[in-house]
């Protein structure tokens, strides 16, 4: 079976690349690699999501990057909210190591963890994600419901989903499951969705 970016231990040698990422007014150099999501550089969906961060004026105490990859969202969260406790979660060990190294390189504080290593009693005021749509609808739904339940009472999850990858049907499903979800923005085929507690 071929490795996927959502494999825990991707096979093959780590082929590092240097890329530049705009965190919202500040461009930094980051390292990415083969065997992780969007290993060639910042993908279009995440770029649109990061632009939405500039519009968020909340001040969360604890935030989560769900499916962090090599860390662009986690580092943007830490840069945007320097007082917040930032967690970066991924099943991919290589992705977690890259995120940790990228954060350390730029003196940004990010806690990296596999999903099962996040303490059960931890809740998040904000969750940001370019979710792994390609794991399949059933697995995606299970993933989202698990982490939405970790939102604080006034917390919100903000995510980007391609329209052609089912963004509108995902929004309807979340609403039907009792999670109010609004479309914050739409650009170039991507939807920015925000989900809150009922």
Per-residue pLDDT at 96 exceeds 80: yes
Give the DSSP letter string of 47-100.
HHHHHHHTT-----SEEEEES-TTSHHHHHHHHH-TTSEEEEE-S-HHHHHHHH
Q: Render pLDDT for 127-142 as a digit per residue (tens, 0 to 9).
A: 999 999 989 999 999 9
**In this predicted structure, what is the pLDDT of residue 1?**
30
pTM exceeds 0.75 for this model: yes
Of 9-18, 74-83, 175-184, the poorest mean pLDDT is in 9-18
- Who wins on pLDDT, 60 or 25? 60
| 5 pLDDT above the threshold of 50 | no
Higher per-residue confidence, 27 vs 3: 27
Tokens of 140: 């995606």
* CA–CA gap between residue 38 and residue 33 (Å, rounded): 9
Distance between CA atoms of residues 30 and 131, nearest Å: 21
**16-22 and 27-33 as β-strands: parallel, antiparallel, unpaired?**
antiparallel
Between residues 191 and 57, which one has the greater pLDDT? 191
**Strand pairing of 62-66 and 181-187?**
unpaired
pLDDT band at 198 (very low <50, low <70, confident <90, very high): confident
Question: What are φ and ψ of residue 107, in 5° steps?
Answer: 55, 40
pLDDT above 80 (res 2): no
Angle at 154 between CA 49 and CA 123, to 5 degrees: 80
Domain boundaries, the chain: 16-196
Residues 6+ apart with CB under 8 A from 132: 5, 6, 37, 67, 140, 143
Check: CATH 3.40.50.150 for 16-196? yes
| pLDDT reported for residue 9 | 54
Average per-residue pLDDT for the chain: 90
Sign of CA dihedral 166, 142, 125, 99: negative
| Bridge partners of residue 27, in order along the sequence | 22
> What average pLDDT does range 30-52 have in this prediction?
89
| 54-58, 76-80, 153-157: the lowest-pLDDT one | 54-58
């Amino acid at each position: 079976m071929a490795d996927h970016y959502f494999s825990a231990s991707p096979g093959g040698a780590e082929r590092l690349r240097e890329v530049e990422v705009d965190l919202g007014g500040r461009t930094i150099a980051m390292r990415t690699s083969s065997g992780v999501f969007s290993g060639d550089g910042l993908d279009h969906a995440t770029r649109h999501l990061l632009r939405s961060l500039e519009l968020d004026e909340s001040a969360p105490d604890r935030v989560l990057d769900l499916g962090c990859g090599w860390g662009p969202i986690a580092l943007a969260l830490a840069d945007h909210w320097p007082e917040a406790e930032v967690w970066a979660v991924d099943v991919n060990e290589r992705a977690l190591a890259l995120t940790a190294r990228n954060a350390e390189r730029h003196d940004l504080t990010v806690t990296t963890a596999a999903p099962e290593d996040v303490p059960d009693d931890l809740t998040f005021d904000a969750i940001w994600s370019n979710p792994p749509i390609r794991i399949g609808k059933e697995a995606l739904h299970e993933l989202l419901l698990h982490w939405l339940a970790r939102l604080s009472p006034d917390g919100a999850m903000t995510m980007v989903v391609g329209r052609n990858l089912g963004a509108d049907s995902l929004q309807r499903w979340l609403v039907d499951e009792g999670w109010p979800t609004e479309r914050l923005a739409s650009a170039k085929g991507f939807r920015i969705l925000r989900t809150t507690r009922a």
